[in-house]
A and B are shown apart, each in its own frame.
Chain A
Amino acid sequence: MRIRRKRTAAALAAGLFCTAFLSGCVTAEAPESGGGKEITVAVNSETGTLDPAGSIALTYLAYSVSALDELLTFDEEGNIEYRAAERYEVNEDSTVWTFYLREEALWSDGTPVTSEDFLNTAVRALDPASGSGYANYLFPIENAEEIYNGEADPETLGVETPDDYTLVFRLDEPCVYFLDLLRLPVYTPSCAEYADSADSGWDKDPETSLANGPFCLAEYVPDQYFVLEKNENYWNRDAVKLDRITYRFFDDAQAMANAYEAGEVDVATSLPSTVMELYEGRDDLLVTDQIATRYIYFNLDVEPLDDVRVREAFNLALNREDLCKIVGADTEPAYNLVAKYMKDKETGEFFTDGAAQPFEEDVERARELLAEAGYPDGEGFPTLTYSYPTLEMDSYTAQVIQEQLKKNLNIEIELRAQELQSNYSSRYAGDFDLIRMNWTADFADPYTYLSMLLSNSTYNCSGIDDPEYDALVERSNSETDPAARAELMHEAEQLAVGQQFYIIPLYAMKSVNLVNPEITGIRQIPASGALEYRYADI
């Protein structure tokens, strides 16, 4: 009896072992190789939908650069590259924008892309139920904000579709950077036939998730990978060389770097700066500019941060060169709010190089300012708290700043490390003295930065209320002469960063990527700095 039980147990154990292996083979299928030219790209773990009108995050961004054609975009020299549209017109005061769609453009199922498909995304995004985080970028359009707030009927939206191939946007106010907004998801088409709501699941089903760009969705396996294959109906298909792109989800950057090293992926992006040293001098390493600024917000409601002399002292007392040396080789000191690597489309130069640096670091002067404000040698200065997310880079930054302020101004700051989400909510609730901020450009115009400090901006978390600044930024919005406009924007930035010292700019960042050297034709999107594979070849 006992022996039999023992044997049964042994048989059970063996059985379990086998089932485990078999079930393993069944539950996780490997993406099939279809032959032809293909690459595998590592992307961050899955978040959000693929619906341009839905709650999108990194997964959509990876998908859309290969699968969706916006109306038009800008190349690296700042020239217009027409995609879904073939030309456009704008009225004198930049309030009516008319786009003429490419008649030969088709969805991946062979049906034509029409103006209705663009309207479809905008209307759906303006329903808060969609969860779209970009809905506010539609607000320049007539009645858009009222519709979003439930105060107007969606029919009244200032987007007209006189025929299948004409699309008209009517704006409330002049908006000279409107073309830059077109790359945002809410201005991207979604096929009106299938894309009905944000939660019907059409977006991840290859049957209904149609693409109007060079690649279309072939397979989507949640949490594991998705596969795009060449869209044979794409109007510009001859320029597309790859047959398939597989995107694999990874949870952290180190796992991506390991997968690249193990030869499991061809491209891994946004890796830790240590990878730069490991791969130095090798063809795999591709370092790109991020259009982003890391900076610190002051809470102007907290004494003595309401004193411009104190804010200036903080800015002048920091040594950003030293800071960057410690934080990582992928950072470079920044003295502006507008991202260091954002280009001015007119001149082709970095925008921030078009004006003098807003301020110079100067520890002596910082000490004088602090004394003038009533705190000679930091005496009597209250202990302020600096809140930052628990990311490695931000933790290093916080410690360096704490040390430099102690050494240079003899003032103490307390460090408060927070989980990322908690940090966001502290910021929005105004529950901080000093808080870390990072802003990646949404579109390729300095307005994406300058608008954040406007008194009515929802990103203005520090309580800035400066009518002079607001007026300057507003004037720049309707100024159609690019040079004069750039002048106004420089003036506004000078005022906010170099005179009022509303923020402490810290550094600009580089993106560390590993790319299989056999791949050619990878481009960088000027607006965001992200990599684009639509014309890649292997």
Chain B
Amino acid sequence: MLRYTMKRVLTGVLSLFVLATVTFFLVRLIPGSPFQRGGVSSQVVEAVEEEYGLNEPMLDQYLTYMGSLLRGDMGISYQDPGTEVAEIIGRAWPITASLGITALAAAMILGTALGVIRAVAENRALREIISAGSMLAAGIPSFAAAILLMLLFSVKLRMLPASGLLSPVHYILPTAALSLYPAAVISRLTGNTLRAELQKDYVLFARAKGLGKWRTIFTHALKNAYLPVLSYAGPASASLLTGSFVIESIFTIPGLGREFVSSVTNRDYTLILGLTVFMGTVVIAVNLLTDLLCAWLDPRMRRAYREEDV
């Protein structure tokens, strides 16, 4: 298990290195300059680029950048020369993460509850409604959901704020928009696997022994049914934790996703790179954690890893 973990960490570091390298050259290949704006004269742009060392050979720039990155220095933002990239990430990530965790928790709770109801409900109409609803929710893109929610609750009903993340109430709409899709997927996964699980002999046995229906579901069947959900929730939480470009822009939330979009628009090379490396780290770490968590819950997988170690 330890060796497996070590191996995963090493490949993770290697992936990050490749990611940083590819991104470094790709951003410099996009036409445009960090200092080019509509009304700025080209003489001025050239002088400023020289000042920032952007006219040096690309390989030299790359070595300098990687050198400082290894020392943990991600440089300063070109757009806002007083601010370090690390500072911007330190400011934006807590916002993105708090929204991401809220959305993830909401999706897990709601998705699981609906999935369980769909698996055990005796009322066929109820099952069909949940099934159709989750199908619909999985089909609506999050940006469309966001705009619809905003139109309804902020603009028409004026019940909820439309922009920013200034108080707990501000969390409601973006959380709803973000968690709609994962909740739908989780409810479908839970419902399908739980229904299959409930057909198994051990469930019958537990009931025969006199264990109550709900207790059987929650202490035995759900645990086994939950593995596919966990392997879905891992990558899903990675994407929630690195911020949604679209949702953050629509609700004007100062998180990572919005920083990323504006850094690309502004050709803020250092910020694009810093954000890419940071997001890459989060994605790799979360995926690793999910795998370890699955192994912890599923003895079969744990055994597989152990065999791999030998």
Q: Is the CB of B154 within 8 A of A262?
A: yes
Q: Is the CB of A255 within 8 A of B82?
A: no
Q: For residues 4 through 59 of chain A, which have their beta carbon under 8 Å from a beta carbon of chain B?
A: 6, 13, 16-17, 19-21, 23-25, 27-30, 45, 47-49, 54-55, 57
A161 close to B (CB within 8 Å): no
B171 close to A (CB within 8 Å): yes
Q: Is the CB of A129 within 8 A of B51?
A: yes
Q: Is the CB of B105 within 8 A of A255?
A: no
Once A13-B108, A128-B50, A224-B254 are accepted as A-B contacts, the answer to whether A458 and B32 lie under 8 Å apart by CB is no
Once A17-B105, A255-B250 are accepted as A-B contacts, the answer to whether A47 and B47 lie under 8 Å apart by CB is no
Chain A residue numbers with a CB within 8 Å of B99 are 20, 24
Q: How far is the CB of B97 from chain A (nearest CB, A)?
A: 8
Q: How many interface residues does chain A have, given as a range?
A: 35 or more
Q: Is the CB of B161 within 8 A of A251?
A: no
CA–CA, A224 and B164, complex, Å: 7
B249 close to A (CB within 8 Å): yes
Q: Is the CB of B101 within 8 A of A20?
A: yes
Chain A residue numbers with a CB within 8 Å of B37 are 57, 133, 424
Q: For residues 216 through 271 of chain A, which have their beta carbon under 8 Å from a beta carbon of chain B?
A: 222-224, 248-252, 255, 258-259, 261-264
Q: Is the CB of B82 within 8 A of A200?
A: yes
Question: Which residue of chain A is the closest to B296 with respect to CB atoms?
Answer: A5
B199 close to A (CB within 8 Å): no
A131 close to B (CB within 8 Å): yes
* Binary interface encoding of chain A residues 369-396 relative to chain B, with 1 for a CB under 8 A from any of its CBs, else 0: 0000000000000000000000000000
Q: Counting chain A CB atoms within 10 Å of each CB, which of B97, B166, B218 scores highest? A: B166
A135 close to B (CB within 8 Å): yes
CA–CA, A439 and B39, complex, Å: 8
Q: For residues 328 through 383 of chain A, which have their beta carbon under 8 Å from a beta carbon of chain B?
A: none
B64 close to A (CB within 8 Å): no
Q: How far is the CB of A421 from chain B (nearest CB, A)?
A: 3
Out of B81, B91, B162, B218, name the residue touching A222 (CB < 8 Å).
Answer: B91
Q: Is the CB of A422 within 8 A of B83?
A: no
CA–CA, A20 and B42, complex, Å: 47
Q: How many interface residues does chain B have, given as a range?
A: 35 or more
B168 close to A (CB within 8 Å): yes
Q: For residues 244 through 271 of chain B, which have their beta carbon under 8 Å from a beta carbon of chain A?
A: 249-252, 254, 258-259, 261-262, 265-267
Q: Is the CB of A49 within 8 A of B81?
A: yes
A282 close to B (CB within 8 Å): no
Q: Is the CB of B76 within 8 A of A199?
A: yes
Once A13-B109, A458-B41 are accepted as A-B contacts, the answer to whether A27 and B252 lie under 8 Å apart by CB is no
Out of A2, A48, A439, name the residue touching B219 (CB < 8 Å).
Answer: A2
Chain B residue numbers with a CB within 8 Å of A420 are 265
Once A20-B98, A24-B171, A128-B50 are accepted as A-B contacts, the answer to whether A201 and B83 lie under 8 Å apart by CB is yes
Chain B residue numbers with a CB within 8 Å of A262 are 154-155, 158, 161-163
Q: How far is the CB of B267 from chain A (nearest CB, A)?
A: 6
A91 close to B (CB within 8 Å): no
Chain B residue numbers with a CB within 8 Å of A261 are 154-155, 162
Out of B42, B91, B168, name the residue touching A21 (CB < 8 Å).
Answer: B168
Out of A21, A48, A149, A249, name the residue touching B252 (CB < 8 Å).
Answer: A249
CA–CA, A49 and B165, complex, Å: 23
Q: Is the CB of A133 within 8 A of B39?
A: yes
Chain B residue numbers with a CB within 8 Å of A129 are 48, 51
A143 close to B (CB within 8 Å): no
Question: Which residue of chain A is the closest to B151 with respect to CB atoms?
Answer: A258
Q: Is the CB of B101 within 8 A of A16?
A: yes
Q: Counting chain B CB atoms within 10 Å of each CB, which of A27, A418, A442 scores highest? A: A27
Q: How far is the CB of B305 from chain A (nearest CB, A)?
A: 19
B43 close to A (CB within 8 Å): yes
Question: Which residue of chain B is the closest to A29 with respect to CB atoms?
Answer: B166
CA–CA, A264 and B159, complex, Å: 12
Question: Which residue of chain B is the closest to A418 with respect to CB atoms?
Answer: B31
Chain A residue numbers with a CB within 8 Å of B40 are 133
Q: Is the CB of B82 within 8 A of A201?
A: yes
Chain B residue numbers with a CB within 8 Å of A419 are 32, 265
Once A148-B47, A223-B92 are accepted as A-B contacts, the answer to whether A259 and B108 lie under 8 Å apart by CB is no
Chain B residue numbers with a CB within 8 Å of A279 are none
Q: Is the CB of B102 within 8 A of A422?
A: no
Q: Is the CB of B102 within 8 A of A17?
A: yes
B33 close to A (CB within 8 Å): yes
Q: Is the CB of B79 within 8 A of A48?
A: yes
Q: Counting chain A CB atoms within 10 Å of each CB, which of B44, B158, B163 scores highest? A: B163
* Binary interface encoding of chain A residues 187-210 relative to chain B, with 1 for a CB under 8 A from any of its CBs, else 0: 000000000001111011000000
B201 close to A (CB within 8 Å): no
CA–CA, A263 and B163, complex, Å: 11
Chain A residue numbers with a CB within 8 Å of B219 are 2-3, 6
B123 close to A (CB within 8 Å): no
Q: Is the CB of B36 within 8 A of A27?
A: no
B303 close to A (CB within 8 Å): no
Out of A199, A425, A458, name the residue touching B81 (CB < 8 Å).
Answer: A199
* Binary interface encoding of chain B residues 147-176 relative to chain A, with 1 for a CB under 8 A from any of its CBs, else 0: 000110011001001111111101100000
Out of A249, A439, A458, name the residue touching B42 (CB < 8 Å).
Answer: A458
CA–CA, A208 and B36, complex, Å: 29
5 extra A-B contacts, CB within 8 A, seeds A16-B104, A224-B254: A21-B102, A48-B79, A131-B51, A419-B265, A421-B36
18 contacts between A and B (CB under 8 A): A21-B102, A24-B102, A25-B167, A28-B254, A48-B80, A55-B81, A128-B44, A198-B81, A251-B249, A258-B155, A259-B163, A261-B155, A262-B162, A419-B265, A421-B30, A422-B31, A428-B42, A459-B41
